[in-house]
A and B are shown apart, each in its own frame.
Chain A
Amino acid sequence: MSLNHHLRHAEAASPEAIPDQQPREPQPRGAKVHGNHPVDHDEAAARFIAAPHHEHMHDSRLWDLRQQRDAQMHGIEEWEELREHASRVKSHTLANLGDYLEQFTAAAQANGVHVHWARDAAEHNQIVHSIMSDHGARSLIKSKSMLTEECGFREYMAGVGIEVIETDLGERIQQLDDEPPSHIVVPATHKLRTDVAQVFARTLGTDPNNSEVHYLAEQQREKTRPLILQADVGMTGANFAIAENGAIAVCTNEGNADLSANVPPLHIASIGIEKIIPRVADLGVFIRLLSRSALGSPITQYTSHFRGPRPGAEMHFVMVDNGRSERLGDETFWSSLKCIRCSACMNTCPVFRRSGGLSYGATYSGPIGLILDPTMNRRKYSKLPYASTLNGSCTNVCPVKINIHEQIFEWRKVMASEHQPAVAERAMMKAAGVVLSNPRAYRAAVAGADRALRVLPQFAVDIPLNPWATPGRETPQAPRETFHEWYRRTDGGRIDTELPASGEDGSGTEEDQG
């Protein structure tokens, strides 16, 4: 994300810092993660929402991106055809992934690139580590990559005493604050400028009261540049890997991939195996969709192509599986591998906008996270498929047409059938199934609208108390009789009687015999 392009820069477009805010609203932290224990999204969301400046800024900033995306979409007549085309290219590639990976590897090796294969996160980290050891390298600069987040790369490297410096401003902010990115494109988007000022004051010694964007960016740059210039290794991810010529394309707005790849003598790229596309000619389709979908800008500032090492330098590609080939074999969820990580589904998601990305307690958050995370850890992310209203907006913005909301729905099926929800919830659903399939039992349960009020929303889930009694929501007023009772009493309105107004006493209500 470039700072000289600050008006469109999602991070720098941070709204005015809150003037004279006394006391400063502390930045809400993300979900509490305890090992494999199911992450409680609602609990973290409640804390985010309880910080109104953060919540409001987050919602409106991402909604702006969504609206800019819409404007870009309307500027392209063939938008829906482009989405369809992109989706088909991805389906085709994934259906023939083995062949394309071979082609890519052969081409990359012919270009003088060393290609490695990592089955999982641990292997990825070890491979990078061993490449560095071979070269006696001690420091690494890195351009933002979700795959390395997925692999826990930073923590691993910290453990073996290697310094990792993020070069993306947002990611650097997150690194200094010891937080993962909260958004796949705009990693620090949940932070107010005043939060950033606090982080920098603490870690870089800047003025805690100056939250001016240029000041903060400049300070960060001054402090980080020397580290970048001295680094032994540069690391990038890859947005696309082209089978035809063995090249990778990396899209950034700050040009930091170029920095990472070109400054040190050793370039390592971590590449998810699903990033393959067949031909250079296909790239245009995705490049046209990516930034428009993500930030509502026509194109990413820098689309860098890396094909081989420059003279005297070395280039390594680490091809990472980490559960991808297993997912590819899954009939219901394989198409989540089409994802190009544009973030459009997050920006449009009303739940994500209100709750913040860190409330999901996972590398991937928002709608795409709801379907990716459970493939990595079913128990830990068993509650995430419920962090959606199934409104379907995500599916319709997705540039590669992943049926996101349908997969969320399918994940609920999996969780319910694998007994992931609480036992009480299961029992409740069983009971509901019995009551709702039996007219007599059902009528008895909802006889008298007051009773219905307690029974009706309750049968939906395991909530022992009235779910309407949530702060911020009043219990609906119960009418005096149900429709069914009215129908019986008036013979479907054929007997002319006044409908009793709600709130009156229930003496006129007949006992239902049905």
Chain B
Amino acid sequence: MRVALMVPCYADALEPETGIATLQLLRRLGIDVDYPVDQTCCSQPMVNAGFHEDAKATQAHFVDTFAGYDYIVAPSNSCVRNVRENLTAVEQTDRTREVRSRIVELVEFLHDVLQVEDFPWAEFPHKVTYHDSCSSIRFLKSSSMSELREEPYSKPLALLSRVRGIEIEQTKRPDECCGFGGTFSVLEPATSVKMGQDKVADHSSTGATHVVSGDGSCTMHLNSCARRLGLPMKFLHIAQVLNGDRG
């Protein structure tokens, strides 16, 4: 099985520990992971703002970088969503289609592909809340959403519940958006900040000390709101917890 690691540009630059934990975790699970060093970005910033023409070259480069792998694993829901749904500015060759169909988000890969039952090295002796991103819930369907009449389920919580010592709390509005939204956070700062602050307050009111998430861009935003509110919460990527980080 040829597996490539895709590290989102924001994680590369601002949250390197997410990439490191993902790489180590996959190795622990016996996967030999490639990290294509020429990778840049999935094109989301331009696409999200509506500039598809300007995303073309970045998308072409993405396809060139990741073609030929059985799986492209990315620790970010929104990037995976972007590649699957919106890598449409570039010509839809067989290679493009293949790359788009072979990208998987880390939780999906662990839960659906590898079907990992146990993380014997992992212990997390803290009270946590899980921050499920909108991309994870409503697009990758990693968790059930409150809008639909469906049985509740959660792939990330199923994985986390196998970590020793972890205590998981539920927020009041588990699938309310955190207000990051890429372009939104910059063009609509007032609402974005308010949503972020409300979301952090919801996490904090559960008594949790740590917020765990599969989406580092949401938590980057939440973290910056929490610090402004003076809330001492810690934010970790799910890869870190599953990899044995003890917080």
Contact = CB atoms under 8 A, between A and B. Distances in A.
B20 A389 contact: no
B186 interface: yes
Contacts of B184: 351, 386-390
A436 B13 contact: no
B139 A392 contact: yes
Contacts of A433: 46, 51, 54-58
A483 B57 CA distance: 23
A354 B16 contact: no
B52 A473 contact: no
Contacts, number: 245
Contact of B188 (A70, A386, A409, A453): A386
Contacts of B14: 449, 452-453, 456, 476, 478-479
B228 A456 contact: no
A499 B20 contact: yes
A19 to B, nearest CB: 23
Contacts of B175: 393
- Residue in B7, B145, B147, B198 whose Cβ sees the most chain A Cβ within 10 Å: B147
B229 to A, nearest CB: 8
Interface residues of B, number: 76
B145 A476 contact: no
Interface string A460-478: 1101000110111111101
Given A429-B54, A453-B14, A482-B12, A436 B41 contact: yes
Contacts of A485: 16
Interface stretch (A109-117, A132-140, A315-323, A438-446): A438-446
A80 B61 CA distance: 40
B49 A460 contact: yes
A434 B57 contact: yes
Contacts of A76: 149
A439 B186 contact: no
A456 B9 contact: yes
Contacts of B46: 429, 432-433, 436
Interface stretch (A4-12, A41-49, A119-127, A223-231): A41-49
Interface residues of A, number: 87
A416 interface: yes
B153 interface: no
A210 B7 CA distance: 60
A446 B54 contact: no
Contacts of A436: 9, 40-41, 43, 45-46, 57-58, 61
Given A390-B181, A446-B13, A459 B45 contact: yes
A392 B81 CA distance: 12
Contact of A417 (B24, B53, B224): B53
Nearest to B229: A472
A416 B51 contact: yes
Main secondary structure of the interface of A (DSSP, over half): helix
A41 B138 CA distance: 25
Given A456-B9, A474-B227, A437 B40 contact: yes
A411 B15 CA distance: 32
B146 interface: yes
Interface string B163-182: 00000000001011101111
Contact of B190 (A42, A449, A481, A492): A42
A208 interface: no
Interface in B130-145: 134, 138-139, 145
Contacts of A449: 13-14, 16
B221 A354 contact: no
A58 B107 CA distance: 36
Contacts of A446: 9, 12-13
Contacts of B183: 386, 460-461
Contact of A416 (B52, B185, B224): B52
Contacts of A483: 7, 11-13, 16, 18-20
Contact of A461 (B24, B40, B49, B147): B49
Interface in A370-388: 383, 385-388
A472 B7 contact: no
17 contacts: A42-B188, A49-B191, A73-B149, A387-B188, A390-B48, A391-B177, A393-B147, A412-B48, A417-B53, A429-B54, A446-B12, A452-B13, A476-B224, A479-B16, A479-B17, A482-B12, A482-B16
Given A389-B177, A460-B45, A488-B37, 16 more contacts: A42-B191, A351-B184, A385-B50, A386-B188, A389-B179, A389-B195, A391-B134, A417-B50, A436-B40, A436-B57, A446-B9, A449-B16, A452-B13, A463-B186, A476-B223, A486-B20
**Which 5 A-B residue pairs are closest in the complex by CB-CB distance?**
A389-B181, A412-B50, A452-B13, A416-B50, A437-B57
